[in-house]
């Protein structure tokens, strides 16, 4: 029987939502391909996550559970996934297009000789063949690609593939794995920033600020609206290059690619490089005082006005709405 293998990313003892989306999509494809779904998870204390992966659609979970694997190490994790592929011999391998997935997938593809389609926004089965759709030319076009051989590997853009219904009663086979944890480089310390904020790649709501804010002292207006909406904070490249905020908040071609349900662009003109990072957002709201700003061409809703007047009102309205809902 055909097999679809997925890689599940865990952090601080919890599965990333993007990993669950990948398993759910694998479950959907399994019906069309007549395949089973196996998921690989690497880390410390990850055996306990097998039930959650099964509920989302995994038939088998291969766990590399060891204290030595607590911190992500490219060389070791690539070795574990390649080892799992050699044992399972899958026809399809799916990973989330997260920072880890972007680093891991090409290395494993090179090790195993797999063809890799990155940043896919759709997968479908046509006449028994798997076809992927992915943006090209900074999001200005979408192309369909097929593989000429196996295994067929793809990374899936977060927040694009919907989670399927969960079934906590689904049985799962847990297969323990072991991997050589020695590496030429090791993580000695991790320094986290932006504590308490929702990660951009997983956020359903993002409020991004641009040069229209005039200075870093005004960026708190964006942060306040994001907090009131229960979302994450983003920024344009111009703001990051000016040193107003950290690079990890940058949305765009040279920053993060995001696909939230709601994207609010505040004081952002809408350069093509920025649009490339948020064009797959489900709903875009633009706030700008320039009626000719390119961002209005891609916005579902546009607010033409002074952001210094609009944002405080929106923030208060959002707070009132959340308070009313309890």
List the chain pLDDT tens, one digit each, 326 residues. 799 999 999 988 899 999 999 999 999 999 999 999 999 999 999 999 999 999 999 999 999 999 999 999 999 999 999 999 999 999 999 999 999 999 999 999 999 999 999 999 999 999 889 999 999 887 788 999 999 999 999 999 999 999 988 898 899 999 999 999 988 888 888 776 654 566 788 899 999 999 999 999 999 999 999 999 999 999 999 999 999 999 999 999 889 999 999 999 999 999 999 999 998 899 999 999 999 999 999 999 999 999 999 999 999 999 999 888 86
pLDDT number for residue 199: 75
pLDDT number for residue 11: 87
Task: Find where tokens 């940043």 sit.
Answer: 119
- Closest by CA to 232, choosing from 249, 255, 246, 215, is 249
pLDDT number for residue 164: 87
How far is residue 53 CA from its own chain's centroid? 17
**Tokens matching residue 243:** 């040193």
In contact, 308 and 218? CB cutoff 8 Å = yes
Can you say whether the dihedral through the CA atoms of 70, 56, 158, 260 is positive or negative?
Answer: negative
pTM of the full structure:
0.86
Cα–Cα dist 164/155, whole Å: 18
Cα–Cα dist 17/24, whole Å: 11
pLDDT number for residue 197: 62
Domains annotated for the chain, with CATH where assigned, are: 2-176 (3.40.50.620), 200-325 (3.40.50.1220)
In contact, 210 and 311? CB cutoff 8 Å = no
How far is residue 245 CA from its own chain's centroid? 21
pLDDT number for residue 12: 85
pLDDT number for residue 196: 53
In contact, 233 and 266? CB cutoff 8 Å = no
């Amino acid at each position: 029987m055909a097999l679809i293998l997925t890689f599940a990313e865990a952090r601080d003892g919890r599965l990333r939502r993007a990993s669950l989306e990948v398993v759910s999509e694998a479950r959907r494809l399994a019906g069309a391909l007549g395949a089973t779904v196996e998921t690989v998870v690497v880390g410390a204390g990850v055996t306990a996550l097998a039930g959650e992966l099964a509920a989302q659609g995994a038939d088998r979970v291969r766990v590399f559970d060891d204290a030595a694997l607590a911190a992500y190490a490219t060389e070791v994790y690539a070795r574990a996934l390649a080892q799992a592929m050699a044992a399972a011999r899958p026809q399809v391998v799916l990973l989330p297009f997260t920072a880890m997935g972007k680093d891991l997938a090409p290395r494993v593809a090179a090790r195993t000789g797999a063809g890799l389609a990155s940043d896919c926004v759709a997968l479908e089965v046509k006449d028994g063949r798997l076809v992927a759709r992915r943006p090209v030319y900074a999001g200005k076009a979408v192309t369909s690609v097929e593989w000429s051989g196996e295994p067929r590997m793809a990374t899936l853009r977060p927040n694009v593939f919907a989670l399927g219904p969960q079934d906590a009663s689904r049985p799962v086979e847990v297969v323990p794995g072991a991997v050589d944890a020695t590496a030429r480089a090791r993580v000695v310390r991790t320094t986290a920033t932006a504590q308490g904020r929702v990660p951009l790649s997983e956020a359903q709501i993002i409020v991004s600020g641009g040069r229209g804010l005039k200075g870093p002292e005004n960026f708190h207006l964006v942060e306040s609206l994001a907090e009131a909406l229960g979302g994450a904070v983003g920024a344009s490249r111009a703001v990051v290059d000016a040193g107003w905020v950290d690079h990890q908040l940058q949305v765009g071609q040279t920053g993060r690619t995001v696909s939230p349900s709601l994207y609010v662009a505040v004081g952002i003109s809408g350069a093509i490089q920025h649009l490339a990072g948020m064009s797959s957002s489900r709903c875009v709201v633009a706030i700008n005082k320039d009626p000719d700003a390119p961002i209005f061409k891609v916005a579902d809703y546009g607010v033409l006005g002074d952001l210094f007047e609009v944002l405080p009102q929106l923030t208060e309205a959002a707070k009132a709405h959340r308070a009313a809902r309890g």
